[in-house]
Structure 1
Amino acid sequence: MGNRLAASTSPYLLQHADNPVDWWEWGDEALAEARRRDVPVLLSVGYAACHWCHVMAHESFEDPATAALMNERFVCIKVDREERPDVDAVYMEATQAMTGHGGWPMTVFATPEGEPFFCGTYFPPRPMHRMPSFQQVLSSVGQAWETRRAELRSSAASILQQLGERSVVAGGTQPPGEPELAAAVEALAADFDAARGGFGGAPKFPPSMVLEFLLRHSARVGDARALALAEGTLEAMARGGIYDQLAGGFARYSVDAEWVVPHFEKMLYDNALLLRVYLHWWRLTGSPLGRRVAEQTGDFLLAELRTPEGGFASSLDADSEGEEGRFYVWTRDQLSSVLGDDDGDWAADLLGVTPQGTFEHGTSVLQLLEDPADDERWASVRTRLLAARAERVRPGRDDKVVAGWNGLAVAALAEAGILLQRSDFVEAAGAAAELVIGLQSRGGRLLRTSRDGVAGTSAGVLEDYADLAEGLLALLAATGDARWLEAAAELLDTAVELFAADDGGFYDAPPDSGLVRRPRDPLDGPAPSGQFALAGALATYAAVTGRTQAREVAERALGVATLVAGRYPRAGGWGLAVGEALLAGPLEIAVVGEPADPRTVELHRAALAATSPGVAVVRGAPGDDRVPLLQDRPLVDGEPAAYVCEGFACRRPVTSPAELRRLLDELGAHPSAVGEPPSDRVVIE
């Protein structure tokens, strides 16, 4: 039988369109149907790149007998957590409260009003490991609804009351200052894995936001230990199996503490964030590895995730041909068959391909154990292995375009495009911004997703407005096109209006989301929290426009980062990074000159190469007054010029990159080490 998912713009929901389950999409109609039939809701939440979601789908949702039981007893609703993070957040909070853990697939039973009374994650088709089978769960819940309905409703009401009574730490009025930021470094050093990089034990997720904080802190105060923490992690990840040594791009996480074996799915947000972090590492230290990884990750985004419409797809699956990682792993024999015995043995030793394997079935995940002694040989080996791998069955791609994650990609590519002199990166960033603004904007409000040039129906959440604004401001800095400032201003004004709470914090969902509880989490997850992301975008916007009120809103939103800095800084990395920007700035650099003039180009690149986290850069032609920082900024003796202002005081304009670097050095803005070899390092033992 078919179901109602066939018209969805979510690839995850489309994967279930041919299930014998009579699925509904989340919405008022589905809940109304549950009330009409007087049956509970069965809510199943997952996402396209989720391995165990696929397993449960194959075992249960494709099974006619299980589907018949689901259809008879429940109104079944399928949710893509990436499309509806607000729905996911509400029911994940309930799941964690009831079970002590969470994850996907998430399975929730709720009243027809959407109030949860029984939650779980994966359920097997047969009882195993003290877990009941999914059919047993369906029968038990269905029978309980018939015989103990009042008890279930009372339980649901109690759960919602308890969740409502939980205090959400939204923050106060003070952003993190010197003591809190120093305490965060201390706490991170105590949690650092000196032998293998990263923080804590297995599994290890790329700590993108924490790394950005550490790099900014090092740049601002010259803290060698903060830099060592970041570098130890960045190098370990770049050489490990979590990074695709052939084509670039990072997997979701490492299942071990050594970064060897990843969970192979690749997410847009991870790669956008990591591209920017590796770019900043190179900018700060001149690390060749940082530059290579940043550029290859940008290439990965354009080659693997770019959609025909110009946006960026959400993810690549972990599986191909029904096996996780099959596309990426190798045996020594496979290397030799592609490369010949000599190059095969050389590559196997270089890439950590062992006779017994580091993964499953004797296969190995490719690592880069050391820098190749012969660059030409490595280039040849890499090219041939890529060609051979291209003949394999590729992992599936979730090609929906998420507004916020595209904003992260826009920011990274725009900045990288200027610093790496890759005009294709800047062009791709502009095209993605055009798509999202043009297709996913309705009456001043954002829609979260689109696919194949068709906008979805889900309302944008806070991270969509904040991350997209961040990307547009980075595009403004890269291109000088004032329309990006205008679009960012509209997004930020709308975000503050829609999502602000009374205590200086922000909700994650708009007020008209229709959920049983309005979700709110100010701390980072795998991507920056919406609240911290909004604070960062507002801080940049305030520097570019002079709107002090925007900075004040940003400062209040960072109060929670102040509270977690010394206790759990890994939950507040982006807030701490924004705190570094507030302490270091605003340091405004306005570059004025004809865009095609090489002197303007070099001045502009020198401005963006400044490592101070408080720098805000704009560029424009003479007489362009659409950006406040560019107003009344003429050429100097007919030459392009850079105007540098700090603390409402401006220095004499300069006309050469060397002069600009000297001036920034005087201001403590630590000019970039790009092009210089890395110098003294601290080793954390």
Structure 2
Amino acid sequence: MNRLASSLSPYLQQHAANPVDWREWSEETLAEAKALDKPLFISVGYAACHWCHVMAHESFEDAEIAALVNEFTVPVKVDREERPDVDAVYMQATIAIAGQGGWPMTVFAAPDGTPFFAGTYFPREHFARLVNAVGTAWATQRSDLMEQGKAVVQACATGGPVLADVSDSCPIDGPCPAGAPIEAGVLDAAAEQVARAFDRAHGGFGGAPKFPTAPVLDFLLRQHARTGEAASLMVVERTAEAMARGGIYDQLGGGYARYSVDAAWVVPHFEKMLYDNALLLDLHTRLDGPLHRRVAGEVARFIVDGLGTAEGGFASAFDADTDGVEGLTYVWTPGQLLDVLGEDAEWAARLFEVTQQGTFEHGASVLQLLADPDDEARYARVRDRLRLARDARPQPGRDDKVVAAWNALAVTALTEYARVHGQEWADRAAERAATLLHELHTVDGRLRRVSRDGTAGAAAGVLEDYGATAVAYLARHRATGEAVWLDRAKVLVDVIDARFATGDGGFHDTADDAEALVSRPSDPTDGPTPSGWALAARAYAEYAETTGDPYYRDAAYRALAVAEPVLTQHPRFAGGLGVAAEVMRGHLF
């Protein structure tokens, strides 16, 4: 047994029985590596990650590989969802070294955390050679490794996006100009550039693998609300419908998988993440039509019933694997349909695109719903029977940790869903989760990143936690009229202002009193969720809109004006900034 058994993280607990002598990331671990004069082996992943499981089975559960790791390194396991700051620093280094990133992330670093080699998944034999090579190089070529590490850190420190200087037009100690920080023409040009990248055949952007990219769809929808631009609405509607009808959407149980392995949304990577479902719930809520109304209701129910925790929050994810087999719970063969449905099987096979050849592995198919059923009552009966049969199958594991930012996204989405569709159960769920964020995740006025089973973890909240939670509290204030939510939002935006602001209008992703890493991340671009920068700017803007306080209006103005080049040059990856800019123009919903 290694040192992970008492960890809060389900991902780390998955590795507690490994023969690898894992430690958690901490200052004590770095001090231990220094005392032992060994490099760090930093392995970063998350509980629902399929290839993380593969590398664990191949290497970390193997006694021979573990002996090499333990001999030559101080091994450290990191849950990227619990420590996004550590993940961000080493992901940047991994991309700089290997040219691409992903999980599991495999990093070798000096005892002070300076990375000198990095990659992602390595097969067992390759990984064994790599550990041996690192051990040899540390003993015989250490100065070369350290020089390489310093060069990586320097490249990461200077490799950020180009930002604007607004010190003259909008000084920190003075008022900003009247009007919006980003001109309408800039926002419209960004939307047009995004629309040009649209996949007209299948919806979405790019080829395989294909991700929902919810932040930029949100931006396009708000830009359409301001301008009436038909192209922006078309991109959103066609993408949302293609996803809702494809295999990336769970046609029986509701909820979206993290991404599609193909360009046509047919076969998902089966893990379901809270953040995707919160953002896509919000998207479907604000689109018209029976399909979007149905899917919004199903996604909301999946979040509340499927991911709800006893304490009132929402769990992070469901695994891609079931009993080590990806997709085992979800896929069907014609024979399985026949066993469950009898004479309805052939009709269901046509409806859900289940074929003899299959769309997945071993002749199995992922359910799709490319056209509406011709018999709604029959569809409902068939769906209920299939869902009951599927519920009797082995189920994927659930990562029960509650992440502040992702719960906040769910609070905002459920609050809006309840407002639009009059669903009180969704509003009650949003209120419970928001209360949990305040009562459990807030300690001495500061946010903790995660909790589990009613216990808050030690990891400090990062910028996205503060920004998303402030936005969620403001949504609760609008829904309830209760001043307490406005007061709670102010506490968080003031922490952003005091602890995360860079002094020139931008933000760091970590607080100024957080644990010092080899670099301090600051990234205005989106991942699958809006960037912390974008969420902070939106929180400022919404708070200013609610209260009329010019201080926060100016802070929002600076944050967006500084980041305008990012939106101009990389609009597909800056949808969150576009949303915040549209919020400042009055397009709150």
**TM-score normalised by structure 2 residue count:** 0.96
Decide whether the 8 Å contact of 1:175 with 1:561 is kept in 2.
Answer: no
What is the alpha-carbon distance in structure 2 between the residues aligned to residue 566 and residue 232 of structure 1? 24
What is the alpha-carbon distance in structure 1 between the residues aligned to residue 91 and residue 301 of structure 2? 35
* Other-structure match for 1:488: 489
Decide whether the 8 Å contact of 2:96 with 2:155 is kept in 1.
Answer: no
* Other-structure match for 2:290: 288
Report the secondary structure of 2:78's partner residue: strand
Decide whether the 8 Å contact of 1:278 with 1:294 is kept in 2.
Answer: yes
* Other-structure match for 2:314: 312
Structure 2: gaps spanning 5 or more residues:
167-179
- Correspondence list, 1:59-70, <5 A: 59-70=58-69
1:328-355 CA-to-partner distances (Å, cap 9, x unmatched) read 11111111111113x1111111111111
What is the alpha-carbon distance in structure 2 between the residues aligned to residue 328 and residue 560 of structure 1? 45
- Partner AA of 2:47 in structure 1: A
What is the alpha-carbon distance in structure 2 between the residues aligned to residue 502 and residue 538 of structure 1? 15
* Other-structure match for 1:120: 119
- Correspondence list, 1:173-252, <5 A: 173=166, 175-252=181-258
Decide whether the 8 Å contact of 1:171 with 1:504 is kept in 2.
Answer: no
* Other-structure match for 1:276: 282
1:350 and 2:343 are equivalent in the alignment: no
What is the alpha-carbon distance in structure 2 between the residues aligned to residue 431 and residue 491 of structure 1? 19
What is the alpha-carbon distance in structure 2 between the residues aligned to residue 436 and residue 134 of structure 1? 41
CA offset at residue 162 of structure 1?
2.2
* Other-structure match for 1:627: none
Report the secondary structure of 1:192's partner residue: coil
Decide whether the 8 Å contact of 1:168 with 1:520 is kept in 2.
Answer: no
CA offset at residue 434 of structure 1?
1.3
- Correspondence list, 1:316-395, <5 A: 316-341=318-343, 343-395=344-396
Report the secondary structure of 1:122's partner residue: coil
1:501 and 2:507 are equivalent in the alignment: no
* Other-structure match for 2:171: none
1:219-263 CA-to-partner distances (Å, cap 9, x unmatched) read 111111211111111110110000111111000001111111111
The 3 A distance-change label for structure 1 pair 238 and 574 is same
2:144 to 139, 144, 151: 151
* Other-structure match for 1:45: 44
Q: CA RMSD in A?
A: 1.3
- Correspondence list, 1:23-102, <5 A: 23-102=22-101
What is the alpha-carbon distance in structure 2 between the residues aligned to residue 188 and residue 229 of structure 1? 9
* Other-structure match for 1:134: 127
CA offset at residue 167 of structure 1?
4.0
- Partner AA of 1:400 in structure 2: K
Decide whether the 8 Å contact of 2:524 with 2:566 is kept in 1.
Answer: no
Report the secondary structure of 2:211's partner residue: coil
* Other-structure match for 1:601: none
1:353-393 CA-to-partner distances (Å, cap 9, x unmatched) read 11100000100001101011111111111111110000011
Q: Which moved more, 1:105-114 or 1:184-193?
A: 184-193
- Partner AA of 1:148 in structure 2: Q
- Partner AA of 1:539 in structure 2: A
Decide whether the 8 Å contact of 2:525 with 2:566 is kept in 1.
Answer: no
What is the alpha-carbon distance in structure 2 between the residues aligned to residue 560 and residue 380 of structure 1? 55
- Partner AA of 1:17 in structure 2: A
What is the alpha-carbon distance in structure 2 between the residues aligned to residue 171 and residue 268 of structure 1? 34
Report the secondary structure of 1:558's partner residue: helix
What is the alpha-carbon distance in structure 2 between the residues aligned to residue 288 and residue 181 of structure 1? 30
* Other-structure match for 1:517: 519
What is the alpha-carbon distance in structure 1 between the residues aligned to residue 271 and residue 402 of structure 2? 17
What is the alpha-carbon distance in structure 2 between the residues aligned to residue 20 and residue 7 of structure 1? 16
CA offset at residue 165 of structure 1?
2.4
Q: Which moved more, 1:173-182 or 1:232-241?
A: 173-182
Report the secondary structure of 1:109's partner residue: strand
Decide whether the 8 Å contact of 2:255 with 2:299 is kept in 1.
Answer: yes
Identity within the alignment, %: 56
- Partner AA of 1:256 in structure 2: D
What is the alpha-carbon distance in structure 2 between the residues aligned to residue 364 and residue 314 of structure 1? 26
1:531 and 2:533 are equivalent in the alignment: yes
CA offset at residue 71 of structure 1?
1.0
Report the secondary structure of 1:494's partner residue: helix
Larger radius of gyration: 1
* Other-structure match for 2:416: 415
Decide whether the 8 Å contact of 1:69 with 1:138 is kept in 2.
Answer: yes
Decide whether the 8 Å contact of 1:4 with 1:23 is kept in 2.
Answer: yes
What is the alpha-carbon distance in structure 1 between the residues aligned to residue 436 and residue 380 of structure 2? 35
CA offset at residue 561 of structure 1?
5.1
* Other-structure match for 2:174: none
Structure 1: gaps spanning 5 or more residues:
127-132, 586-612, 616-685
**TM-score normalised by structure 1 residue count:** 0.83
- Partner AA of 2:311 in structure 1: E
Report the secondary structure of 2:339's partner residue: helix
* Other-structure match for 1:475: 476
- Partner AA of 2:157 in structure 1: G
